[in-house]
Structure formats: C-alpha cells, structure tokens
Copies of this chain bind each other. A is one copy, B any other.
Amino acid sequence: MALPKVGSIGEYIREQRQQAKISLRQLAAAAGVSNPYLSQIERGLRKPSAEILNQIAKGLHISAQALYVQAGLIEDREPPSDVISAIRSDKHLSGRQRQVLIDIYESFRKEKRAEDEQTSQNAHPRHDSPQDDEPLPEDYLAALEPFAASNGNGTANQETKEG
C-alpha cells in the first residue's frame, strides 16, 4: 500500500506549486524538506507525514487543512452525528454508559452501511474505512441489559436547535 492511492495529494501539491511558478527545489527549500523527497511525494511514491504536509502547506501558502483533506487525513468533515453529540453531552450517563451507547450506535450505523453497500455499489469515492467489521461484543450487550430494563425510552430525541 505504498504507491497508488496517495496520488491525489501529490498531484495537488504539484499543481499548486506549478501554479505558484516555483521550482520543485524552491518549494522544497521553502518547506524545509529535501528536493528528492518532495519529488517522490508529488509523484505519489511516498506518503508524507503530517509534519511534512504542514511544512509544504506553509511553503505553498495554502491552508494546511485543505492539504489534509486532500490527503484524506481529515476525510472531509466528521460525520455530524447528532446522536453521538447528544450522547456525549448527556449528563445522566456515566462515561462507561456513554461509550457503550456510542459503540452500539456505531455498530448499527456500520451494519446499515454494509447493507446499503451490498444493495447498491455506487460511487462513494472518498470512503476509506478498511477494517471495521466486528460484530457487537457481548460485553456491551451485557452492559446494556440493566440499562434497557430501567429505561424504556427508545428514541434518541435531539434537543438541538434546528433552524
């Protein structure tokens, strides 16, 4: 997994560099990295660390965030799950309970996503979550038992202001 998929970030850097009309060596100097390494990065032969990426962003006078997104390191935007944020901000739950709920919720989401992908394998171009396919551990279900018994409320009602 060292060569192919990282291409976009390298291309992006090269585009930005050429657009700024500076040579590879100049950018390398400005970014504080070696020229051969930058060359390899631009051609997708190497996967630069976040530090290097940050330096390059500075050398290019572009947003580091944009570069991270391009590199797939920030993905795009965190999944804006109201459920998770609601769980996390619920003062009536212990840390353990929070975690259990979140894990369960996520496993459900995961299942659903797997089903959807089976039925229709259309384009999800930036989707990059390789191995997260473990079923719900018994521990969690066991932890859930007393909880579900005492709490009959099944809806995760969001109280966030919705405009």
Contact of A20 among B57, B99, B131, B139 (CB under 8 A): B99
Q: Which residues of chain B come closer than 8 Å to A19, judged between CB atoms?
A: 95
Partner of A50, one of B58, B73, B94, B95: B73
CB pair A68–B50 under 8 Å, yes or no, is yes
Q: What is the interface residue range for chain A against chain B?
A: 35 or more
**Complex-state Cα separation, A142 to B83, whole angstroms:** 12
Question: What is the chain B residue whose CB lies nearest that of A51?
Answer: B73
Chain B residues whose CB sits within 8 angstroms of the CB of A75 once the complex forms: 54, 64
Q: Is the CB of A71 within 8 A of B50?
A: yes
A68-100 with Cβ < 8 A to chain B: 68, 71, 73-75, 77-78, 80-81, 84-85, 88-89, 94-96, 98-99
Most central of A50, A75, A88 by chain B CB within 10 Å: A50
CB nearest to A87 among chain B residues: B61
In the complex, what residues of B have CB within 8 A of residue A134's CB? 29
Kindly report which residue of chain B lies nearest to residue A77, judged by CB atoms: B140
Expressed in whole angstroms, the minimum distance between the Cβ of A126 and any Cβ of chain B is 13
Roughly how many angstroms separate A19 CA and B93 CA in the complex, as a whole number? 12
Q: Does A102 contact B (CB under 8 A)?
A: yes
Residues of chain A having any CB pair with chain B under 8 Å? 19-22, 29-30, 32, 49-51, 53-54, 57-58, 61, 63-66, 68, 71, 73-75, 77-78, 80-81, 84-85, 88-89, 94-96, 98-99, 102-103, 130-134, 136, 139-140, 142-143, 145-146, 160
